């Protein structure tokens, strides 16, 4: 399978002390930077490394399926492509013991 050209992913940026964590639930990968811009840049690089790795090892179908992705059907006009799972975020108030 040829490498993916572009992806639309939900990426959460979490400020933690003096760092920013970039996390994508659809790929279950994360990285960190000193700023949101640096975290985004590192995240872009990480996605490329991740996709190259699973493609080179011929496990893309297995890995993406395990992560909840679905593959569209191939037609004569259009090759199949991977669709990431829908990720939603909500704020919850969770009771905890005092």
- Assign 98 a pLDDT band (cuts: 50, 70, 90): confident
Mean pLDDT of 71-79: 81
What is the Cα–Cα distance from 2 to 52, expressed in whole angstroms?
10
pLDDT at 81: 87
Type and span of the H or E element at 35: none
pLDDT at 5 (0 to 100): 66
pLDDT band at 1 (very low <50, low <70, confident <90, very high): very low
pLDDT at 68 over 60: yes
Phi, psi torsion values for 23, nearest 5 degrees: -135, 130
pTM above 0.85, yes or no: no
Q: Please spell the DSSP secondary structure of 74-93, one letter per residue.
A: P-SSS---EEPPP-------
Say if residue 73's pLDDT is above 70.
Answer: yes
Mean predicted confidence (pLDDT) in 56-83: 90
């Amino acid at each position: 399978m040829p490498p993916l050209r572009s992806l639309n992913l939900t990426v959460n940026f979490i400020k933690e002390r003096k760092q920013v964590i970039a996390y994508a639930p659809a790929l279950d990968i994360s990285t960190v930077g000193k700023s949101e811009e640096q975290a985004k840049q590192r995240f872009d690089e990480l996605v490329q490394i991740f996709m190259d790795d699973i493609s080179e090892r011929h496990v893309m179908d297995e890995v993406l399926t395990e992560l909840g992705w679905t593959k569209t059907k191939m037609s004569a006009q259009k090759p199949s492509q991977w669709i990431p799972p829908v990720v939603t975020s909500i704020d919850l108030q969770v009771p905890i013991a005092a």
